[in-house]
Structure formats: structure tokens, C-alpha cells
């Protein structure tokens, strides 16, 4: 008896092939958990530094951990190629984040979300970020519900998604 062979979604394969062949710059969103070991933050910083040096536009949010590391790497490479979209206003961000965010050239605040929980505001913010990108790189834990939901939304919008798990 022969087993049925599952064929991967051809749209996803075509997207991945197109991404590999693309030589120009891309709009890349990078999102991830706030709770990240320092060694992982250093790797994320180096990766974003290289992506921006390659001419790619980077989008992220303003949280600590993954996003702060992405901002640091992008700022070192070319601050003009970085856009940070906050889930709420700058004044709602933790003090350690505000110091870094005040140096960002392209900073988008969402003060209309100040009355929402951070989880609700982050979900809306992540949707805005993926609507602006071609590719999403995400660093998450298996229980990072908001981030995993964002990855599913991005896939639903036919974005190329690369998901790394910390656990």
C-alpha cells in the first residue's frame, strides 16, 4: 500500500524562490519576544546590521529584547532605513526603550491605542507592520500567542515568513 505524498503549498515555494532570486532591497519586518537572552540579542543585532547594510528597509516595534536588538543593529548600519512602529504612544513605552526610541528617525506612534491593553495594542501594531513589509522574520517561543498569530496573519497575506523558536 502506498502512502500519499504531501506536496508543499506551491505558492509558498514560488515566494521563497522569488525571494532568493531577488537582488534588490526588500522591506523586512523583524519582530520577537521581549524575553531574550543577551547572546540571542547580539545575534539579532548582527543580523539586522547585515540586512540594513545590504540596503534592506527594516521595520520593527519598540519593545525590549528582540526589537531593541533589531533597532540597535539597524541604527548602526543606516538609521534612515529603519522604521519603528509603536503599539501606543512613546510616553507609554518603558523608560529604557524611550531613550533608544527618541533617536529613531522614522518613528510611528499610535496614541489612539493608549487605552488598550499592551497585548491588544501589540496585535494591531503587528498587523500594521506586516501590511508594510514583504517578508517577516520572527523570533518567538512556542507559547508566544501574539507573535504566532502575527506569523499566521502574514502567511495569510502571502508574505514570506521566517520563524525562529527560542525554545
Does a structural domain hold residue 16? no
Q: Alpha-carbon distance 84 to 106, whole Å?
A: 6
Residue 96's pLDDT is 83
Determine the 3-state secondary structure of 85 from DSSP: strand
Task: Kindly report the CATH number assigned to the domain that includes residue 100.
Answer: 3.40.50.450
Residue 117 covered by a domain? yes
Containing structural domain, residue 121:
26-165
Which residues touch 44 (CB under 8 Å, ≥6 apart)?
Answer: 30, 32, 36, 66, 69, 70, 73, 139
Number of domains in the chain: 1
- The predicted-structure confidence for 23-69, as pLDDT tens digits, reads as follows 678 999 999 999 999 999 999 999 999 999 999 999 999 889 999 99
User: Which among 58, 154, 146, 61 is positioned nearest to 109, based on CA atoms?
Assistant: 61
1 assigned to some structural domain: no
Q: Does some domain include residue 151?
A: yes
* pTM summary value: 0.85
Q: What is the pLDDT of residues 124-155, one digit of tens each?
A: 999 999 999 999 999 999 999 999 999 999 99
List, as own/partner pairs, every contact residues 9-12 make where C-beta atoms lie below 8 angstroms and the sequence separation is at least 24, other chains included. 11/158, 12/155
Q: Would you say the C-alpha torsion 116, 71, 90, 64 has a positive or negative sign? A: positive
Q: In this structure, is residue 9 part of a structural domain?
A: no
Is 4 domain-assigned? no
Amino acid at each position: 500500500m502506498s502512502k500519499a505524498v504531501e506536496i508543499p503549498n506551491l505558492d509558498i515555494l514560488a515566494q521563497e524562490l522569488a525571494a532568493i532570486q531577488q537582488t534588490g532591497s526588500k522591506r523586512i519586518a523583524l519582530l520577537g519576544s521581549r524575553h531574550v537572552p543577551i547572546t540571542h540579542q547580539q545575534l539579532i543585532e548582527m543580523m539586522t546590521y547585515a540586512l540594513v547594510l545590504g540596503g534592506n528597509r527594516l521595520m520593527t516595534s519598540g519593545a525590549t529584547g528582540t526589537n531593541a536588538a533589531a533597532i540597535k543593529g539597524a541604527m548602526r548600519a543606516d538609521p534612515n532605513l529603519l522604521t519603528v512602529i509603536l503599539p501606543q504612544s512613546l510616553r507609554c513605552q518603558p523608560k529604557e526603550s524611550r531613550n533608544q526610541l527618541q533617536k529613531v528617525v522614522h518613528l510611528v506612534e499610535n496614541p489612539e491605542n493608549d487605552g488598550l491593553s499592551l497585548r491588544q495594542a501589540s496585535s494591531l501594531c503587528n498587523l500594521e507592520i506586516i501590511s508594510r513589509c514583504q517578508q517577516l522574520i520572527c523570533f518567538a517561543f512556542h507559547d508566544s500567542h501574539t507573535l504566532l498569530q502575527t506569523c499566521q496573519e502574514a502567511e495569510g497575506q502571502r508574505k514570506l515568513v521566517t520563524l525562529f523558536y527560542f525554545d
